[in-house]
Structure 1
Amino acid sequence: MESEFVTTPFGRRPMSLAMLLRQRRGEAMEAGTRRNKWKLFRSVCEARAELDVTDRALMVLDALLSFYPEDELSSERGLVVFPSNVQLCLRARGMAAATLRRHLAVLVEAGLISRKDSPNGKRYVRRGREGEIGEAYGFSLAPLLARATEIEAIAARIADDRQLLRGMKERLTICRRDIAKLICAAVEEAIPGDWARLSSTFHALLQSIPRAATLESLSPILEELETIRLGVINTLESPEKHRIASTNESQIERHIQNSNPESISESEPGLETVQEANRDLEPSSRLDRREPGVAGNGSRTTAGTNAGELKSFPLGMVVQACPDIVDYGPGGRIASWRDLMTAAAVVHSMLGASASAYEEAACVMGPQNAAVVMACILQRGGCINSAGGYLRDLTRRAKRGEFALGPMLMALLRTKDRFEVGLEEGCRKVNFGTEPGAPARQNGVR
């Protein structure tokens, strides 16, 4: 049986009050205390950070537990293990002797084991006539068993915090997905609101999410995101927005998806949806829509109509979605629509789009919208083989009323959010805003 006297260290290692208290705590455990050693070891691994032990020290503790002959640690039996350094190094996955001694000291300082040194400093056991253990010298596991309840409580709390953090991350992901898609829907449905500013605030908030997230760091961010989501929903659910949604619903029900493989995109909403929304909002300023494809020299009349119908967006939103265009502006900045159109004139030549293609796009879409399209093409230049062919195709679709800038800009805004799950993922082999799995397009897009 183990000695009840205090064991002082062998050799030149000094005795300290902390060592005395740890030994007394190990001896003061309640009678009948039992724990499965491997379950207790898993709790120690869970609570490793708060116990201030390293993963290598846990490897040494694992090796020490393997020398205990029973699966259950019990205060009624001896808790001293006495392996040699050679055997302990082998059980510790070949750890060097010097490293082993260092991590044994870490376990002692953490109060998980204690030393019970023999008179000569060796580890051994004295047995009785029938083989029972009389006196053992080595490392005592009594401190580990004495702290079993404390360690299990720490491990349970850490597991609960991890579960709460997982749930908070799930709520955060759903919340930011909702906000991104609601803003996109508001822009596509032409609902009045400062969506560019809200989108900028939303993306800035996402950028503040730390890489190593904790409950304390995520909680305020989640509260702000939920506030933004509630504000967007309230805006969309106002009586006027219900009236606009009812008008657009009939248009969506009669929508026939174009399956022509020559088309670049099938997922961008036609101008009919935007036009109906604009008619409801500003009935007096809506331009009469003309039939596309009239006589060849009547292109200027058609162009003027389409330019008036194609929805424009704030310059700040365009620059945020297409930051690469800023490098080509006067003085390396875009401060006005004139600067954007100047940069677009440089970019279309650089990308190989002919002057006639750009002039036609400006006539059909309007100079500002044509410049926005060139900025989008530059931003996604790695996904487009022929900028000129792509620009001409967009121009033809704008003439037919099948092109809108909203999905293109929102797709570029979503790609800037590296934390967004389930939204736009890299460069697609289809046009901006198309659904995953859509067939590949021609006309210069790969």
Structure 2
Amino acid sequence: MQNLGWRKPTPGLVAAEMHAQVGEGLSVPKSKAIIAVKKVAAHIGMKPAQLMLLDILFAFSKPQDWEQGQRPFVWPSNQYLMDQTGFSLPALKRHLRRLGELGLISFHDSPNGKRYGHRDGQGNIVEAYGFDLSPLAARAGELEALHQKIMAERAQQQQLRKELTRTRRSIRARLVEAIEGGLAGHWKQLEREFNEILSNLPNSKKEQGAMKVALEKLTNLYHIIEELFAGALDLPSTQKASSEKITENTNPSQLKIEPHIQNTNHSHLNCKTKPAVPDNLPQERGFTFETFNQVCPNYIKLATELCGQLRGWEDLKSASQQMGLMIGITPDHWNRLTTQLGIYPSAVAIGLTYEKHIAGEVQNPAGYLSGMAKKAQIGTLNLGRSIFARLSRDKNCAV
């Protein structure tokens, strides 16, 4: 067994040495090795202090040390590492041992416990005692595969949460419409079942199994409500058959339910039903996307950097939830806002609030947006007036 530097052999340290031997037979670029571990650092239990320490050790290695048949040894002194990190000696030793236990470095000390090394005229290591970074050469592929798996799981979780949100909003809109419209049916009982499912939704994003079960329950409830709703309105049988076909052929993971847009000016009790219309686009409220760009240049610039080029209202809508996070707007707050204002007006409201926040005009963005939602409920919110007032002010300032 390789000398582990006066340390008691543990399964982690022994495994690290075995990885080091494998890494000697590989040619892995230095940049690939460090990027691979950084991508999954938090997932494998690394703390920021340990990642910083590993970065410093990497800086001592040279590109040729990572070629096949070589082992990237580094031999900085404890004093140098303490100066660079600010660690005390006990803390430094603890973090170094943790890197070894994680299988990221191996220890190769001289018989007297000193670290030193020599290179030949071509810069290749001919003798060295210190830290061996070879385990990362052996594990770079493994860590990259782990990162891909994490990204796939994260994307699946995000999609699942989107399905939950869409289904939940569709059910709530139908229940409100049926109850307020006085439609015949056991709507209160369905509302209780709906609230019970919501109360048992998992709080942790990691509980994917529980989220799938909740989505399946909500989907089944949605179809029950739609069938009862259609029956109460006495819709044509062909429309019912279409709904039943969707129920039979669609499983919960495939279901795509668009949120229902409630029209408060017309009753569904009328015999003639009108097709649902999307939220009013902002240009229908008196301003264009180009005008919005002029009024909110800082918002557009950051949104472009984070989400890509914004070519119109659809791109703005897609970027708005992520941009809301920049000013403390949680996903739940965003969902409530879109319910109260509509999707496109919410996107405009986020942009205006962001612009005012960085200008120092708004100290509490979440509270400001809640105030806008209250104005919308009583019919006094006018986004067009806000847009043109800000545009006029900016032009006056320019003059």
User: Following the alignment from structure 2 to structure 1, what is the Cα–Cα distance between the partners of residues 11 and 182?
Assistant: 75
SS of the aligned residue for 2:234 comes to helix
User: Following the alignment from structure 1 to structure 2, what is the Cα–Cα distance between the partners of residues 192 and 205?
Assistant: 23
Q: Deviations over 1:79-129 (max 9, x none)?
A: 11111223324544x344332221111111111111010122122113446
Question: Contact conserved, 2:71 with 2:133, CA < 8 A, in 1?
Answer: no
Amino acid at match of 1:242: L
**1:197: Cα distance to partner?**
2.2
User: Following the alignment from structure 2 to structure 1, what is the Cα–Cα distance between the partners of residues 209 and 20?
Assistant: 36
Amino acid at match of 1:7: N
Structure 2 gaps of 5+ residues are: 237-262, 273-331, 341-368, 385-399
Q: After alignment, is 97-106 or 232-241 more displaced?
A: 232-241
**1:143: Cα distance to partner?**
1.3
1:14 and 2:16 aligned: no
User: Following the alignment from structure 1 to structure 2, what is the Cα–Cα distance between the partners of residues 433 and 194?
Assistant: 30
User: Following the alignment from structure 1 to structure 2, what is the Cα–Cα distance between the partners of residues 30 and 116?
Assistant: 14
User: Following the alignment from structure 2 to structure 1, what is the Cα–Cα distance between the partners of residues 29 and 223?
Assistant: 50
User: Following the alignment from structure 1 to structure 2, what is the Cα–Cα distance between the partners of residues 174 and 72?
Assistant: 53
Over 6 Å off, 4+ runs: none
Change (3 A) 1:91 1:156: farther
**1:156: Cα distance to partner?**
1.2
User: Following the alignment from structure 2 to structure 1, what is the Cα–Cα distance between the partners of residues 94 and 12?
Assistant: 18
Question: Contact conserved, 1:114 with 1:141, CA < 8 A, in 2?
Answer: yes
User: Following the alignment from structure 2 to structure 1, what is the Cα–Cα distance between the partners of residues 152 and 82?
Assistant: 35
User: Following the alignment from structure 2 to structure 1, what is the Cα–Cα distance between the partners of residues 335 and 96?
Assistant: 46
Which residue matches 1:191?
Answer: 183
User: Following the alignment from structure 1 to structure 2, what is the Cα–Cα distance between the partners of residues 239 and 167?
Assistant: 33
Amino acid at match of 1:149: G
User: Following the alignment from structure 2 to structure 1, what is the Cα–Cα distance between the partners of residues 93 and 9?
Assistant: 18
User: Following the alignment from structure 2 to structure 1, what is the Cα–Cα distance between the partners of residues 335 and 193?
Assistant: 15
Change (3 A) 1:41 1:216: farther
Question: Contact conserved, 1:82 with 1:125, CA < 8 A, in 2?
Answer: yes
Change (3 A) 1:156 1:95: same
Change (3 A) 1:131 1:56: closer
Q: Deviations over 1:201-252 (max 9, x none)?
A: 2223223223322222311111111112222222223384327xxxxxxxxx
Question: Contact conserved, 1:35 with 1:72, CA < 8 A, in 2?
Answer: no
Question: Contact conserved, 1:125 with 1:137, CA < 8 A, in 2?
Answer: yes
**1:136: Cα distance to partner?**
0.9
**1:435: Cα distance to partner?**
8.6
Which residue matches 1:23?
Answer: 17
Which residue matches 2:229?
Answer: 236
The aligned length equals 269
Amino acid at match of 2:339: L
TM-score by length of 2: 0.58
SS of the aligned residue for 2:155 comes to helix
Within the candidate set 183, 194, 201, 1:202 is matched to 194
1:56 and 2:52 aligned: no
Question: Contact conserved, 1:127 with 1:133, CA < 8 A, in 2?
Answer: yes
Change (3 A) 1:16 1:236: closer
**1:187: Cα distance to partner?**
2.5
User: Following the alignment from structure 1 to structure 2, what is the Cα–Cα distance between the partners of residues 186 and 37?
Assistant: 63
Change (3 A) 1:72 1:164: farther
Question: Contact conserved, 1:68 with 1:81, CA < 8 A, in 2?
Answer: yes
1:75 and 2:71 aligned: no
Give the share of equivalent positions with the same residue, in percent.
27
User: Following the alignment from structure 1 to structure 2, what is the Cα–Cα distance between the partners of residues 269 and 132?
Assistant: 80
Q: After alignment, is 151-160 or 182-191 more displaced?
A: 182-191
What are the within-5 Å matches in structure 2 for residues 13-412 of structure 1?
13-16=7-10, 19-29=13-23, 31=25, 33-48=26-41, 51-70=44-63, 73-92=66-85, 94-128=86-120, 132-214=124-206, 215-238=208-231, 240-242=233-235, 269=265, 273=267
User: Following the alignment from structure 1 to structure 2, what is the Cα–Cα distance between the partners of residues 183 and 435?
Assistant: 26
Change (3 A) 1:429 1:420: closer
Change (3 A) 1:268 1:238: closer
Which residue matches 1:322?
Answer: none
Amino acid at match of 1:73: W
Q: After alignment, is 18-27 or 173-182 more displaced?
A: 18-27
Change (3 A) 1:438 1:129: closer
Question: Contact conserved, 1:44 with 1:155, CA < 8 A, in 2?
Answer: no
User: Following the alignment from structure 1 to structure 2, what is the Cα–Cα distance between the partners of residues 23 and 71?
Assistant: 21
From the CA coordinates, give the structure whose radius of gyration is larger: 1
Aligned-residue RMSD, C-alpha? 3.5
1:423 and 2:339 aligned: yes
Question: Contact conserved, 2:12 with 2:102, CA < 8 A, in 1?
Answer: no
SS of the aligned residue for 1:137 comes to strand
Amino acid at match of 2:79: V
User: Following the alignment from structure 2 to structure 1, what is the Cα–Cα distance between the partners of residues 113 and 52?
Assistant: 23
User: Following the alignment from structure 1 to structure 2, what is the Cα–Cα distance between the partners of residues 6 and 165?
Assistant: 44
Change (3 A) 1:49 1:76: same
Question: Contact conserved, 2:24 with 2:134, CA < 8 A, in 1?
Answer: no
**1:63: Cα distance to partner?**
2.0
